[in-house]
Amino acid sequence: MFAIVSCPGCSKERVVDLSSSTSVCPYCGRKADNALLAVRFSHQDQGIVRDVLQGREDVPLVKDGVPPDPMEALRYAVSHISDPEQKMSATAEGLDRIKGEFTLDDIEHIIPGQGRRFAEAMLESCLIHEVSYGRYRI
Ligand SMILES: [Zn+2]
């Protein structure tokens, strides 16, 4: 489990791995006992903890026991993929799993500003096909 804590020495927020017993602040060098630090946020995914620390607002989290919207979770996951081919297959597989048939608008929602370009590339590489006008599947 990873957590956002505030350093008892300099008060700056940082990420610690709670499976370690101690941590050292990268800003002031103060060593701290992790069990004694006040945790503001924790999650098993270090990437999510870093994004929350950096103030990213679209991090999909369980809120009041309600799981995150699958489309928002997919958009977030895809936004971390830099390789275009992996981005295409994650988008196609995710949309197929969530929606069955999906549209250009759905692809645009997952890859904002690049939906059309990615849809064309997905069609060209036979990753998806048009099942009826404007509707796609893997
Ligand atoms: Zn510090």
Looking at the domain assignment, is residue 29 inside a domain? yes
Mean of the per-residue pLDDT values for the chain?
Answer: 95
- Whether residues 83 and 126 share a domain: the answer is yes
- Whether residues 80 and 48 share a domain: the answer is no
- Whether residues 74 and 132 share a domain: the answer is yes
Looking at the domain assignment, is residue 44 inside a domain? yes
* Residue 105 pLDDT grade (very low, low, confident, very high; cuts 50, 70, 90): very high
Residue 71 has pLDDT above 90, yes or no: yes
Q: What per-residue confidence (pLDDT) applies to 61?
A: 87
Q: Which residues contact 48 (CB under 8 A, 6 or more apart)?
A: 59, 61
CA–centroid distance, residue 24 to ligand 1 (Å): 8
Looking at the domain assignment, is residue 64 inside a domain? no
- Whether residues 77 and 133 share a domain: the answer is yes
CA–centroid distance, residue 134 to ligand 1 (Å): 54
* Residue carrying the six token digits 């992996």: 86
Looking at the domain assignment, is residue 83 inside a domain? yes
Closest CA to 3 of 51, 54, 40: 40
CA–centroid distance, residue 6 to ligand 1 (Å): 8
Q: Which two tokens stand for residue 90?
A: 């994650």
CA–centroid distance, residue 41 to ligand 1 (Å): 18
CA–centroid distance, residue 12 to ligand 1 (Å): 6
CA–centroid distance, residue 98 to ligand 1 (Å): 43
- Tally the domains of the chain: 2
- Whether residues 81 and 113 share a domain: the answer is yes
- Residue 14 parent element (H or E): strand 13-17
Q: Please state, in angstroms and rounded to a whole number, the distance separating the CA atoms of residues 105 and 135.
A: 10
Q: Tens of pLDDT along 11-21?
A: 999 999 999 99
Calculate mean pLDDT across residues 122-127: 96
Looking at the domain assignment, is residue 62 inside a domain? no
- Whether residues 88 and 131 share a domain: the answer is yes
Looking at the domain assignment, is residue 127 inside a domain? yes
Looking at the domain assignment, is residue 78 inside a domain? yes
**Conformation bin of residue 45: beta by default, left when phi > 0, alpha when psi is -120 to 50:** beta
Calculate mean pLDDT across residues 39-51: 93
Calculate mean pLDDT across residues 91-114: 97
Q: What per-residue confidence (pLDDT) applies to 62?
A: 83
Looking at the domain assignment, is residue 65 inside a domain? no
- Whether residues 82 and 120 share a domain: the answer is yes
Q: What per-residue confidence (pLDDT) applies to 64?
A: 86
Domain interval for residue 24 = 2-53
Q: What per-residue confidence (pLDDT) applies to 58?
A: 85
CA–centroid distance, residue 57 to ligand 1 (Å): 25
CA–centroid distance, residue 18 to ligand 1 (Å): 17
- Whether residues 123 and 95 share a domain: the answer is yes
* Residue 118 pLDDT grade (very low, low, confident, very high; cuts 50, 70, 90): very high
- Whether residues 77 and 26 share a domain: the answer is no
CA–centroid distance, residue 29 to ligand 1 (Å): 6
pTM value?
Answer: 0.79
